[in-house]
Amino acid sequence: MTERQRFNLHEERLAIYSRDGGICQYCGEPVDINHFEVAHRIANTVSNRKRYGAEVVDHRLNKATTHAGKCNSGMNCGFNPGKCQEVIDRIKGQ
């Protein structure tokens, strides 16, 4: 990864944290800026990239601020096709 790519990734993470107001999108509790994770709602997997495309998997609306561990894992909507479709509709509706 280049220095520019690392910078862009860092900027994206901070933008997501700011958009979410520093609140875990799974449990609703505040998340320390030094300890947050960015979770994919539709997981970043090879099969999801084939099914939905990189433009969906990599989109900021597919990512959310979470605590590590259970909250991050809980954001995965892969077993709920209705939730996945909601994410896709929000992304494509922009």
Q: Identify the pLDDT of residue 94.
A: 65
Output the pTM of the full model. Answer: 0.89
Quote the pLDDT of residue 78.
85
Rounded to 5 degrees, φ, ψ at 42 are -100, 115
Task: State residue 64's pLDDT score.
Answer: 97
